[in-house]
Amino acid sequence: MKMHQTMRWFGPHDTVKLSDIRQAGCAGVVTALHHIPVGDVWTVEEIEKRKKDIEDAGMTWTVVESLPVSDDIKRQGDNWLQHIENYKVSLRNAAACGLKVITYNFMPVLDWLRTDIDYQLPDGSRALYFKQVDFAVFDLFLLQRPGAENDYDDAAIKKAGDRIKSMTAAEKEKLFRNCLLGLPGSDEAFTAAQVLTELKKYEGIDEARLKENLFHFLQQVVPVAEECGLVMAIHPDDPPYAVLGLPRIMSTEKDAADLINSVPSSANGLCFCTGSFGARDDNNIPAMLKRFADSIYFLHLRNTKREHGGNFYEASHLEGDTDMYEIIREITELQKRRNISLPMRPDHGHQMLDDLGKKTYPGYSAIGRLKGLAELRGVEYAVVKGMS
């Protein structure tokens, strides 16, 4: 049984067209209604409109990525109860339209973070990169987050201070802009004032409290998903460690186990991202795939290359620190045992060839993902052929 091959599409304004994705060999698209404000209801009308666009292009849409969880829910403030009720309505509407997998994350304030969105590799292609010292520069000296100095030791603060002295004004501006990128699918960056305001609302919320809030959310929505025939699939934190003084609670094997055990249900599971989990050297990716095999509903297959001190960049799909052959072998075995075809997408492809001159969502240019998909399909073909 082979994986259901998809790519992410950000909707009608995405510079990567549906026809591009179909020509890449994908049978489906994963997408979301990015134009609907976080916390509002996804109506049947809007879901069906997006679904028709995809089906008219000759593909299917069964995986939502993502139905976002509002910060009100994450910190249980302001309109959190209404947002949970709205989320339940959106789940029912999604199920009524034939959707099957609901991807979400529980990262506070910001989504994924990178300090460089066009890091040049030796071959001239460009990748996403996270460098700890540059993030400390942003946090301490550009954003000037109150209390940030308490999250760094003296050596890290000195290193960041030395680093900013060597940076040009243009480099500082680029770093500031990269760290304040908006949510996926949005062209609007956050402002420093917005981020600082939101961070203040999380005062007093530690890792334990944020996990409690996540589990409460799941206790409310998982029964609705199960009743409707949906599955909930959480995406791990990216990067998988604390940033901006905010706790991260979906970064390790223990975090994933805690989530699954918090609400035992066939509708409560994982979007297993080999890149996010793989950015930590204490996560054994093949072992985690084995342990959580029955709770994995969606796959992000990408590779990261770890460097010293928590730095990492997006490697080619078959390079980096994760053995993609071993990963795909494990996936093939779990699919055979469960008699399912899991939806998969290549992730965070390099910007290369003709895409180098195009404006695309960072990590989501067409050609780099096409290359990644072709490589993954080749490995899968070899694995399946060898097991038959």
Q: What distance in Å separates the CA atoms of residue 71 and residue 201, rounded to the nearest whole number?
A: 9
How close are the terminal C-alpha atoms of the chain, in Å? 10
Q: Which of 87, 119, 129, 364 is catalytic?
A: 364
**Angle CA 316–321–326, to nearest 5:** 90
Region of residue 144 (left: phi > 0; alpha: psi -120 to 50; beta: else): left
Residue 313 is among the residues annotated as catalytic for this protein: no
Strands of 312-315's sheet in order across = 116-120, 126-130, 312-315, 303-306
CA distance 205 to 192: 21
Concerning whether 300 is annotated as a catalytic residue, the answer is: yes
Q: Is 235 a catalytic residue?
A: yes
- Annotation marks residue 347 as catalytic: yes
Indicate which residue of 179, 228, 271, 273 is catalytic. Answer: 273
Q: Which of 129, 348, 350, 355 is catalytic?
A: 348
Max intra-chain CA distance, the chain: 59
Q: Residue 322 in contact with residue 336, Cβ under 8 Å?
A: no
> CB within 8 A of 344, min separation 6: which ones?
3, 4, 5, 6, 298, 299, 300, 301, 331, 376
SS3 185: coil
Residue 104 a catalytic site member: no
Q: Is 364 a catalytic residue?
A: yes
Each residue of 245-284: b (16+ CB within 10 Å) or e? bbbbbbbbbebbeebbebbebebbbbbbbbbbbbbbeebe
Which listed residue (235, 297, 317, 350) is catalytic? 235
For 222-240, give the DSSP string. HHHHHHHT-EEEEPPPSSS
Beta strands in 277-371 (DSSP E): 296-301, 303-306, 312-315, 343-346
Q: Which of 20, 134, 347, 355 is catalytic?
A: 347
4, 300, 317, 350: which one is catalytic?
300
The residues assigned a catalytic role are 235, 273, 300, 347-348, 364
